[in-house]
Amino acid sequence: MGRYFAIRSGRAALTIVLVVTFAFVVLRLSGDPALMILGPEAPPEVLAAFRKAWGLDDPIWFQYLDYFGAIAKGELGRSMRDGRPAIQLVLERIPATLALTLPAFFFKVALGIPAGIYAALHRGSGIDRAVMMTAVAGFTVPSFVLALLLVLIFAVQLGWLPSGGQDSWRHAILPIVTLSLGGAAVLARFTRSAMLEVLGQPYIRTASAKGVPWHRVVISHALPNAAIPTVTILGFMVGSLIAGAVVVESVFSWPGVGRLLVVAVANRDLAVVQCILLLVALTMVTSNLVVDFLYGFLDPRLRAKGAHA
Amino acid sequence: MASLISIQALSVAFNGVPVLHGVDLTLQKGEALGLVGESGSGKSVTWLAALGLLPRHAMVSGSVRIDGREILGAPASELDRVRGGRVAMIFQDPASALNPVLTIRKQLCEALALHRDLSGDAVKAEALRLLNLVGIPDAARRMSAYPHEFSGGQVQRIMIAMALAGNPDLLIADEPTTALDATIQAQILELLSTIRREMSMAMVLISHDLGVVAENCDRVAVMYAGRIVEQAPANQLFADPVHPYAQGLIGALPPLDGPRRRLTAIPGTVPDPAHMPDGCAFAPRCALVAEPCGLAAPTLAPIANDRAVACICAAASRRALLGIAAE
């Protein structure tokens, strides 16, 4: 098990390094922060001074090594706009993002999983078809379209809810609904197919053949098996708690990490973008690691393999 | 003798395609019945349907009575008492028949708790006794193991232990040894017949292996395309099959003694359930086929004491031979 853990953790660290490297290179090749921040009208010597101050005139490999050296010391750089530490800017925004993504995560699970189970148990019924149609609509309609649609209905037409901003809890409703619907749809579909797969297995028939009442067959024989694939999707959802709301935050002008990312990318505020990406990679990789260990917990066959790996 | 279970006119259709065409079977207490036939002939479907284990889209009709009580269409709670309690079933592929994420103890104790008035330590003690009975070595320690930690033969033994948990009167063994290698196969069959004797339990052995059935059963029913085509005491069937299909099956077996002879094969293939020929389903492959065969599917008709056959030609010639008047 120790080796299994070491291999997984090593891979996770490698993933993070790759993400950060990719972001570093792409950002530096895609535009000049000096021009973006100071504007095209700025005199050349000011631009040069700015580039020198931020080390942008150094060769890219030097900047790259410098960046990793700083990370090793826990330095994540400063925003080129206002000079504050990037990490501080990002951390400030996290509560706002979590105020959307955590309730949305709760609703995704609370709606998606029971809907998927119900649809699987009543395969072919009207409710199954309704759930599946909603689910397909839920993940084919992009979140910005859904967001605009909700704004149109509930803010513009009915006037029940505000269309953007962060002044009260009422401002959070539409963004949370937008986030929840798509995720619940994905989860419902996955749970349904996982359940259908499991319900067709011979051990379900064995359980029925020994006289286990159907509801107990579902709860104690089918669900633990169907949980294995479902946990994978849940892992992705947990991983996107920090940065999963970029589009929705932009549409609803919600001052979270996602909006910060959009603004920072537009400005080529390199340190901030890299800091966010590092954070996103960390949460993604961590939640995937947790999922890997949950597999071992849920499936004794993997546990055995892990012990020998 | 009182019959334990009696199946009458049991028919099953999947999505409108009939796969079982009115099966009649009775089983006495303690009797061992062999059910043979090719895959898809309806051997397993008969018993899955009788116990209500088919998926919802299967249309089941007819009657299944246990000790005179109708169980087809009975409420779920009553069926749950029959399944595992009166009639237990073991399946072909032991590796996938046990739940991979639950320990053996949990799966075995679940069956015990459902059908016996046992609690706490008594359940565990009984589970241990059953595992020892079916020959799981080091059972006390291995109870907390998962199915994948056992070999195929051991898992089938555990399945048998689980089937015995409810003290059933009838054990349906659906191809219990097909997925196992030959030596393990013999051990499992030996175990089944020992247990059957000791517990005076009836057994239905579903198999496409005629040898297995000949050794372990009192009576044999041969199925073809969703119908029983011949029923006879095991020794009589193998010595003297009457239905051309049964003759074909037995003719395809190499004899142990006597001169070497060419094994015969039945020409053609089993008809597709969606495109059944009119009349006798075996007619297109039959050497004895005559004009009336295409008119109506023959029903199972008695040709002697405990013997019945569903073939117009064979029944007629056999009756003439034995001097029995046609009905």
User: Chain A partners of B84 at a C-beta cutoff of 8 Å?
Assistant: 209-212
Reduced 3-state DSSP string for chain B: CCEEEEEEEEEEEECCEEEEEEEEEEEECCCEEEEECCCCCCHHHHHHHHCCCCCCCEEEEEEEEECCEECCCCCHHHHHHHECCCEEEECCCHHHHCCCCCCHHHHHHHHHHHHCCCCCHHHHHHHHHHHHHCCCCCHHHHCCCCHHHCCHHHHHHHHHHHHHCCCCCEEEEECCCCCCCHHHHHHHHHHHHHHHHHHCCEEEEEECCHHHHHHHCCEEEEEECCEEEEEEEHHHHHHCCCCHHHHHHHHCCCCCCCCCCCCCCCCCCCCCHHHCCCCCCCHHHCCCCCHHHHCCCCCCEEEECCEEECCHHHHHHHHHHHCCCCC
Cα distance between residue A275 and residue B182, in whole Å: 64
Cα distance between residue A57 and residue B321, in whole Å: 110
Cα distance between residue B64 and residue B12, in whole Å: 13
State the pTM of this model. Answer: 0.82
Residues B127-161 pLDDT 10s: 999 999 888 888 889 999 999 999 888 999 999 99
- What is residue B325's predicted lDDT score, i.e. its pLDDT? 53
Helix (H, G, I), strand (E, B) or coil at A66: helix
pLDDT at B318 > cutoff 80: no
Taking CB atoms and an 8 Å limit, are A213 and B93 in contact across chains?
no
Q: Residues with Cβ < 8 Å from B104, sequence gap 6 or more?
A: B98, B131, B142, B143, B144, B145, B146, B147, B150, B158
Residues A274-302 pLDDT 10s: 888 888 888 888 888 888 888 888 888 87
- What is residue A217's predicted lDDT score, i.e. its pLDDT? 94
Taking CB atoms and an 8 Å limit, are B76 and A220 in contact across chains?
no
CB A197 within 8 A of CB B88: no
Kindly provide the ipTM of the predicted complex, given to two decimals: 0.86
pLDDT at B323 > cutoff 70: no
Query: Minimum mean pLDDT among B22-36, B98-112, B302-316: which range?
Result: B302-316
Residues A153-192 pLDDT 10s: 888 888 788 777 777 788 888 889 888 888 899 899 999 9
Helix (H, G, I), strand (E, B) or coil at A78: strand
Nearest CA distance, A124 vs chain B (angstrom): 10
- The residue-averaged pLDDT of A38-60 equals 82
The secondary element (H helix, E strand) that includes residue A256 is: none
pLDDT at A309 > cutoff 50: no
Taking CB atoms and an 8 Å limit, are A211 and B82 in contact across chains?
yes
Out of A203, A224, A304, name the one closest to residue B97 (CB).
A203
DSSP annotation of A210 reads T
Residue of B nearest to A216 (CA): B110
Cα distance between residue B50 and residue B9, in whole Å: 11
